[in-house]
Amino acid sequence: MKTLQTRRDFLKKTSAAAMATLGMGAPLAGLLSSCENKIPTTADSVILLFMAGGMAHTETFDPKKFTPFRKGMEAKEVLSTFPSIPTKLDGIFFSEGLENIASVMDKGTLIRSYQAADLGHILHTRHQYHFHTCYEPPQSVVVPHLGSWIAKEKGALNPVIPPFINIGQRFTVGEGEELKAFHSAGFLGSEYGPFLIPDPTAGLDAVRPPVGMDTKRFESRNQLYNELISAGPMGEFGSDYQKESLKRSMEQAYMLLNSPEAKAFDLSQEPKESYDKYNTGKFGLGCLLAKRLVDQGARYITVTTEYEPFFGWDTHDNGNTRLKDMKKLIDSPIAQLIKDLDQSGKLDRTLVIVASEFSRDMLTEGRPDLKVQDQVQVPDIIEDMKNYGMHRHFTDGCSVLMFGGGIKRGHVFGKTADERPCKTIENPIKIAEIHQTIYHTLGIAPDKNYEIERRPFYTTPDGHGKVEFGILAKS
């Protein structure tokens, strides 16, 4: 079992890494990085739709035998709590409630064999950290987020639009500090960090001064803010590179504030018919905002259902009941985003990913050959509807959807067993392969690295991530 058992350890060690990163100079481009400009790009932009909290594969994109609820049933009988529905692909089924996404599967690839990491005792934010950075916490430096690597290596498509935008996650709920730990550009510098929009309905507020404050007063307050930074840890411990990077990030914010592109953040500008198709809540409107921002030249966007412990996909109880609501939240907007991007011609150059940190199962915590401590008690005999659904964390078989950006259309990759444990049995793929395949579509070399702490630091650990060509269309 891995070390790092508590949230306190997680915070202590990532905070120490943050302070260490402040003192670093400019990252030096690795001498080993030799493949630049040799990879033909198939994508210009990336949208990650992140189902934070643990989306059960057997209840969504990889359904198994449906067992209806009845009092007195055995927990071990339950593989899926929803009937299967057909998709656009012959012989491929989804779980009931995802009819709209099923109708666009001819436009993308379904991965059924993603295996999440073995990180010991399950902690959502540790697995989310691993998913978004490709590195297992803790690290001696603050590791850049996937979006920050892309922002650094590819730059902005539109100099006014932030190259890395994160939509939908508040940091004032649940494990807020742990979530902040991986929403960072790390040693790459503040200018490549996420532009945060916790609520897409208030997206315009992120690019303009507060109500009642004119631009001149806003600029004056910003000057004071810079002075406070100089007097704080950044001023005392930050390197010249980190200070300049922070300055450039503030300058970019001013550019956006005064630009016509700022209107892209205002969802009231969207035609009502289109707005209503996306309006299932914050996540749906986040998908709409992502579409509008890609139209304006956004490089990388995350839209999340938001992680808050014991809510959303974090189904420690009432799994079946809550998943009905989660499917209503995501089904229409994800499908509409794919349709709109395809109709506008943007999908071919926009890579859209639907993923979660791990899956769920009624009985297995962790994976069959490496079980970890149970975090929820599931009775052997189910008498109450609240115990009907996937409650435990499962890492050995997860589903990922990919569309556009050079990905095969109408393709299924990998397979999980039809009987418990519903684990990966064909073409396993792990996070390093997911990341490296994303980088490949953008033309970022697999050996890209920077010299940090006198050693090369790669986009994937030790540069070992491999492109999974089995999901890529032939160029």
Say how far apart CA 125 and CA 136 lie, in whole Å. 11
8 Å CB contact between 169 and 52:
yes
With respect to residue 450, please indicate whether it lies within any of the assigned structural domains. Answer: yes
- Whether omega for the bond prior to residue 379 falls within 30 degrees of 0, making it cis, is no
Listed as own residue / partner, the contacts of 214-220 with beta carbons closer than 8 Å and 24 or more positions apart are 215/257, 215/258, 219/254
With respect to residue 1, please indicate whether it lies within any of the assigned structural domains. Answer: no
Say how far apart CA 26 and CA 12 lie, in whole Å. 25
Domain that holds residue 291: 7-471
Question: In what helix (H) or strand (E) does residue 336 lie, and over which residues does it extend?
Answer: helix 319-344
**Residue 144 pLDDT greater than 60, yes or no:** yes
Report the pLDDT value the prediction gives residue 227, as an integer from 0 to 100: 56
**Residue 224 pLDDT greater than 70, yes or no:** no
Strand partners, 451: 28, 456
Mean pLDDT of the chain: 87
**Residue 283 pLDDT greater than 70, yes or no:** yes
Relative orientation angle of helices 124-133 and 7-22, to the nearest 10 degrees: 30
Residues 157-167: what's their mean pLDDT?
A: 94
Say how far apart CA 343 and CA 107 lie, in whole Å. 12
Q: The pTM is what? A: 0.88
Residue 233 corresponds to which tokens in the numbers above?
Answer: 């840890």
Count of domains observed in the chain = 1
In the block, which residue shows the tokens 């950290």? 129
Secondary structure class of 383 (helix, strand, coil): coil
Report the pLDDT value the prediction gives residue 440, as an integer from 0 to 100: 97
Task: Name the nearest CA neighbour of 237 among 449, 456, 458, 15.
Answer: 15
Cα dihedral sign for 294, 298, 302, 304?
Answer: negative
Q: 41 pLDDT band (50/70/90 cuts)?
A: very high
Report the pLDDT value the prediction gives residue 8, as an integer from 0 to 100: 60
Q: Is 232 exposed, middle or buried (0-12, 13-18, 19+ CB in 10 A)?
A: exposed
Residues 126-145: what's their mean pLDDT?
A: 93
8 Å CB contact between 187 and 27:
yes
Residue 14 corresponds to which tokens in the numbers above?
Answer: 């990532």
Compute the C-alpha angle 61/150/29, nearest 5°: 140
CATH number at residue 151: 3.40.720.10
Q: 241 pLDDT band (50/70/90 cuts)?
A: low
Greater pLDDT, 214 or 294:
294
Task: Name the nearest CA neighbour of 256 among 297, 202, 211, 302.
Answer: 297
Report the pLDDT value the prediction gives residue 133, as an integer from 0 to 100: 97
Say how far apart CA 419 and CA 421 lie, in whole Å. 6
Say how far apart CA 34 and CA 46 lie, in whole Å. 24
8 Å CB contact between 148 and 186:
yes
Instruction: Give percent of the chain with pLDDT exceeding 90.
Output: 68
8 Å CB contact between 313 and 53:
yes
Residue 401 corresponds to which tokens in the numbers above?
Answer: 């959807």
Report the pLDDT value the prediction gives residue 232, as an integer from 0 to 100: 53
Secondary structure class of 109 (helix, strand, coil): strand
Residue 171's φ and ψ, nearest 5 degrees, are -115, 20
Q: Is 414 exposed, middle or buried (0-12, 13-18, 19+ CB in 10 A)?
A: buried
With respect to residue 443, please indicate whether it lies within any of the assigned structural domains. Answer: yes
Greater pLDDT, 423 or 227:
423
Length of the chain equals 475
Report the pLDDT value the prediction gives residue 274, as an integer from 0 to 100: 97
Report the pLDDT value the prediction gives residue 3, as an integer from 0 to 100: 42
Report the pLDDT value the prediction gives residue 215, as an integer from 0 to 100: 60
With respect to residue 329, please indicate whether it lies within any of the assigned structural domains. Answer: yes
Residue 304 corresponds to which tokens in the numbers above?
Answer: 């999340």
Q: 18 pLDDT band (50/70/90 cuts)?
A: low
pLDDT 10s digits, 369-386:
888 888 788 899 999 999
Residues near 225 by Cβ (< 8 Å), separated by ≥ 6? none
